[in-house]
Structure 1
């Protein structure tokens, strides 16, 4: 039996108090970063392969089903506003299509042949990367997509929470964050989902930093999509230039990004 399907360390959950439930869940959650830490060499190896490909015009695809697919979509959808990159630079694809984001699509994850056509809807080139996300490591949709992508010469990686799985075997650069049994047996939206989110954070953030989308520790290309971000950008410009808030905000709104505003100011000095 796979680790993710193994019996929980806890039983008779229905008899626990709320204090006991959340305390035990928290106890289990504390083990997740340690599991991810053991996978850091695998994560590093994958990132080191992704960066030069994206510098050469490649894109990053995440494919998955259920929770895994939703986490990929979440990570991909946050890259454009955070780093100012095109919406199709990092792409999340879920088995069953966008309707599966909110409601499970029956048997979609069992279709081994559908992931590649889903990827092809966006076109592909030899610098693209496909990362399959599957807590179990056995999802046919993900296995099929990775197998086909690898056969077409794309870089392939995966994030799974079992060791030695078919998904890992299908990927050139597997990441295996083995978090152990879930608090509710088999509920991989819990510890496994948390581990996948942590790994996705590491991958996309590291890639964007290496692509020059962060200066110092600031998101200098973030989209100004709400007042909070305008205020954040204003503060960043003030810190970088020493000018007052009104001038900084004027520059930001005129030039559209912290990077462009600071560059304009420096040219005008």
Structure 2
């Protein structure tokens, strides 16, 4: 029996850059991931160096998927949320391909929340694929991914909705909880308020929450006061890596492994 298809994903965040090999049949990391603090300032060149180092650590020579906390269209970063503003207008796909020594078609760059959402839709509960589903990643900021019957609407930026006169993520991101020393009981109402505003805009059937705080979902999800069902991301904080790896292999079928469908 042939070995399961594998891919490689790197998830670039405001505080850390994580990467690893992914078993695309199971939607799981193979072995341990590597995490490196995001360089400060997080310029394109500095981040690309870290990404190249992580890929080299694994001796990986296949396609690579990379996420950014940014709107990404045709490989070009259009925004820069929680990373250096020099990313705006940068052809991220070309930069990573050059730094990794890959052909352009062997590197895929996508929004971090979109990658995490794709992983959840493909490898999570079958019910995740029905109706309007939104994934929210709570970390340095708030990332969002929107799906209609399992199909992605890319580059939504609902984390920047104005809520009570504030950019939502400046009040309800996980980083704010830490910076302000908020208890779960103090933070949960802020999340509820944010989700309530989002509910009134898109009327989702399901909300999936990811990011580091999803590992402690039992401490705060039960305290949310919203009308939509809220569940923790099954892949927890590995979802971005998994989604990036799947997207890269799907876009660049360069071997027998890569030809395996990763659509779930």
- TM-score by length of structure 2 reads 0.33
More strand as a share of residues: 2
- TM-score normalised according to structure 1 size: 0.32
Larger Rg: 1
